[in-house]
Amino acid sequence: MSALHINEIQKYFGALLVLDGVSLDIAQSEVVAVIGRSGSGKSTMLRCINGLEKIQAGSIEVAGHRIGPQGGDLRSLRKEVGMVFQSYNLFPHLTVLENVTLAPKVVKGVGREEAEAIAHDVLRRVGLAEKSGAYSDELSGGQQQRVAIARSLAMQPKVMLFDEVTSALDPELTGEVLKTMEELADAGMTMVLVTHEMGFARQVADRTVFMHKGKVWEQGPSEELFSYPQTPELRNFIAPNLK
């Protein structure tokens, strides 16, 4: 059964066609990496899945919710589709625990005790159980990004979207975050991740999608895609990583 079904979506920014008939099916518990050059439409596709950008044609069905050119019930959708961005967007005046419990309490109406129990569980999962009382300026970039992941997990989503979540981090901190994402994948979370970490995509993602010029240019099981690229565009893109 599909957790995410994208059917022939088009997205324009003014006269510029950014997504040109993109279709994609992602199964429950599948981990899919999306790679491609800057401007290929990767991040825009994620933002369309979460309703942050409106599509002009086609349809998206995710976690039982449908989005079309007229939009959809985005409030209900975002209760079940988590998204983590490159920037952490933590509230600096709130503790880690308060950052993580805010959305379950406000959006889902979860009581304080239950929200805190969920928060302690997800903070443990991302390796930050001892940081619940800290403020964001007391954390490293890697720790802040893991809090952002915990904040999304606290909503108990059916699908998680990651948009270049390690691109602002140095290599050591990147490793922390990728380890957390790998553990989520091992636990069966359905994940779509836009990434420039080719090694991570190859090793952790069940499938990798290469986007080029607003289209799904090539896709397949990750190891196969990286070992046997079928198009010159993909060969040229991954060549620096084939050492």
For the chain, domains (ranges, CATH) are: 2-241 (3.40.50.300)
Mean pLDDT of 27-32: 94
How sure is the predictor about 34, in pLDDT bands with cuts at 50, 70 and 90? very high
* Residue 65: strand pairing partners: 62
* Share above pLDDT 90 across residues of the chain, in percent, rounded to a whole number: 69
Within the chain, how many helices (H) and strands (E) appear? Answer: 9, 10
Mean pLDDT of 205-210: 96
Residue 35 has pLDDT above 80, yes or no: yes
Q: What is the pLDDT of residue 23?
A: 96
Q: What is the pLDDT of residue 166?
A: 86
Q: What is the pLDDT of residue 241?
A: 62
Residue 168 has pLDDT above 90, yes or no: no
Task: Tell me which of 172 and 198 has the higher pLDDT.
Answer: 198
What residue type is assigned to position 162 of the chain?
F
**Exposed (0-12), middle (13-18) or buried (19+): which is 68, by Cβ within 10 Å?**
middle
3-state secondary structure of 69: coil
For residue 179, how many C-alpha atoms fall within 13 Å in the half-sphere facing its CB? 12
Mean pLDDT of 127-148: 92
Q: What's the pLDDT tens digit per position in 63-112? A: 889 999 988 888 889 889 999 988 888 999 999 999 999 999 988 889 99
What residue type is assigned to position 143 of the chain?
Q
